[in-house]
Amino acid sequence: MKLLTIIGARPQIIKAAAFSRAVITWNNEENREFIEEIILHTGQHYDDNMSAVFFNELGIPNPDINLHVGSGSHGLQTAKMIEGIENVLIKAKIDGSAFDGVVLYGDTNSTLAGAIAASKIHVPVFHIEAGLRSWNMAMPEEINRIVCDQLSSILFTPTTKGMENLIHAGFCKDSEKVHFANGKKQYVVQSGDVMYDNAMYFVSMAEEKSDIIEQLGLMPKHFVLVTIHRPANTDSAENLTSIFNALLDIAEGKANGEQTKIVLPLHPRTRKLLPEKLSSKLMQRLNSCKNLLLIEPVSFFEIIRLEKHAQMVMTDSGGVQKEAFFFETPSVIFRPETEWVEIVETGAGILTNADYNRIITAYQTLYNKPIHFPPLYGDTHAAEKILKHIVNYCSSK
């Protein structure tokens, strides 16, 4: 059995680690059909700090194929990916070693491209993290999710809320309505979350191998971790100004009378845009604030240590807010909505968008507040369940 795993952004590299471990475990068992996993990197994230270091740290084999697509407009970037992925799939068919399916993660342009390229030439698509919805079609990720779900042979949704979304959208666990090549049906599976698999698998390793807390001179549960990367925030002078005014006031003790250490690993895009979007006065204030630490992008081990030991996380990232929940760390979410609605519903996260007053209020609300973190994301065996369903699908006639 031959599977093509498509990744392009660093969250997908992390998710792919769980699936690759499941494949290795499967292949080590006796009397099982051997699974060959080919990893294709689109090159959507091409900076070493944003991509290559993750392969080394997580023990994932280097990609067998790299399209080196790089940056560009959504249309240009996705078109290059579709062309490259289609060529790989067609060449495999011509060579007599066709792929039995394509494994996709999340909601990036790499996900969209993989779904379109594979479905057009009748290669089954297996979508991990299906069913997530922010209900905001202005988000490119929302479009990517919806299109990929529609084109998938198996939709693996991580949560009960994701399953509800798919049922309401007309999907069911065993679809009689949708048929693919050879009369195969479409299936929906609530699998649990591969990111939860990884967080629990790697957390002890991170504690051993990363000393970032010590390097930065931080006290556990006495600092705030911040990440900002979404274009809705980084490309808007108004939004970025509002966020940094709030962060500086929190760091300087103006929010609750107590100075707070803030750690902000700067996404390359954010670092580039700061001088363009912030006033010189605000940049001067930012550069002189000793409690707001602007650092380079961090590795996976470093980010999960920071998430685990932070008093609070403030982010516009879907993955970071979810990992914070895994480690029972509350989050302030710089977005108007989130696909991880259960985090907000439990009270472990508060949506603020880029609104100064809402950010400050959310920080004050979550500061030292007792919060319940129910087990929403499975049992750390999501990747194994996903692989078994894929094998059964590919083996059925």
Three-state SS string across 224-245, please?
EEEECCCHHHHCCHHHHHHHHH
* Residues 191-233 pLDDT 10s: 999 999 999 999 999 999 999 999 999 999 999 999 999 989 9
Which one, of 394, 227, 387, lies nearest residue 302 by Cα? 227
Q: Would you say the C-alpha torsion 227, 375, 329, 385 has a positive or negative sign?
A: negative
Q: What structural domains does the chain harbor?
A: 2-193+378-395 (3.40.50.2000), 205-366 (3.40.50.2000)
What is the pLDDT at residue 191?
97
Query: For residues 89 and 123, is the Cβ–Cβ distance under 8 A?
Result: yes
The arrangement of strands across the sheet holding 2-7 comes to: 65-66, 36-41, 2-7, 101-105, 125-128, 154-157, 185-190, 174-179
Neighbours of 160 (CB within 10 A): 12
Backbone φ and ψ of 189, nearest 5°: -130, 130
Which one, of 90, 41, 19, 102, lies nearest residue 393 by Cα? 102
229 tagged catalytic: yes
What is the pLDDT at residue 50?
47
What would the two tokens of residue 317 be?
């990232």
* Residues 355-384 pLDDT 10s: 999 999 999 999 989 999 999 999 999 999
Please state whether the predicted TM-score (pTM) of the whole model is above 0.75.
yes
What would the two tokens of residue 342 be?
């259960």
User: CA-to-CA distance for 304 and 210, rounded, in angstroms?
Assistant: 10
Distance of CA 130 to the CA centre of its chain: 12
Q: What is the CA radius of gyration of the chain?
A: 21
Listed as ranges, residues in the chain with pLDDT below 70 are: 45-54, 397
Active-site hit among 41, 45, 127, 229: 229
